[in-house]
Amino acid sequence: MQTVAILNSKGGSGKTTVSINLASYFAETGQNTVLIDYDSQGSSTHWVDTRDKAQPLIHCIPAFRQPVAQTRSFQMKLPSGTERVIIDTPASVTQSHLENIVKRADFIIIPVLPSSIDIHAVTGFIEQLHRLKQINWRDTELAVVASRVKENTKIFATLEQYLKNLDIPFVAKIRDTQNYIHSTNEGKGLFEVLPQHKVARDKFDWYPLINWIEKKEIFTELDHDKTETLVQAV
């Protein structure tokens, strides 16, 4: 079992978008997937609730809710056979809660928006992570992704240069597109949208991040050429 935590102390950085699309990818590829929602807004929980029964099952744990007529440990119990756990976190996390999440994570993904405020905020958050006590960083891998990107803009160029200068991997950039709004409203991730050619360009954004998690090349240069041809045709 592998656990992926999506973290950033700054609100509106794209944590839920990353969480639900990773969850849908793993479920779509036949892996038993659990999505844990710690955010009081409950966006990931609502997304799972709107999913069609015919879609691959994603077990959701609304961890932001206080359990009724059951213990907290029972509420948080993972189903037997769980292979992937995705943790969607809120902007405001106490130090102890943050440490507990980091301890259980195999991978930590920090999404960052292209804005000066977000760049400043993530700098402090990364420093906070590295100051956590009793964390063995040899057992936990940390990476950043650029979220809601509009390429060929000055602020994105600034963000890209900043992320490349960090001492942690900058693994993906996810462009700003209405496809995320449409798919989320339907309780889907990009990899579940049909026909797939509608989201071909956006899917390509995710392969570097998935490769980083799965430690394998699931997307080759030949696939890239095919995608570019498909994108140009639609």
Residue 102 and residue 89: Cα distance in Å, rounded? 11
From residue 157, alpha-carbon distances to 53, 120, 162, 163 in Å are: 42, 15, 9, 10
Q: Express each pLDDT in 148-190 by its tens digit.
A: 999 889 999 999 999 999 888 999 999 999 999 999 999 999 9
Per-residue pLDDT 10s for the chain (234 aa) are 999 999 998 888 999 999 999 999 999 999 999 999 999 999 999 999 999 999 999 999 999 998 888 898 899 999 999 999 999 999 888 888 888 898 889 999 999 999 999 999 999 998 888 888 666 666 788 999 999 999 889 999 999 999 999 888 999 999 999 999 999 999 999 999 989 889 999 999 999 999 999 885 554 444 444 434 433 433
Q: Starting from the edge strand earliest in sequence, which strands make up the sheet with 58-61, in order?
A: 58-61, 33-37, 84-88, 2-6, 107-112, 141-149, 170-175
**CATH domain 2-233 topology:** Rossmann fold (3.40.50)
Considering the entire predicted model, what is its pTM? 0.87
Query: Buried (b) or exposed (e) across 113-131, using 16+ Cβ within 10 A?
Result: bbbeebbebbeebbeebee
Q: 33-37 and 107-112: which strand pairing?
A: unpaired
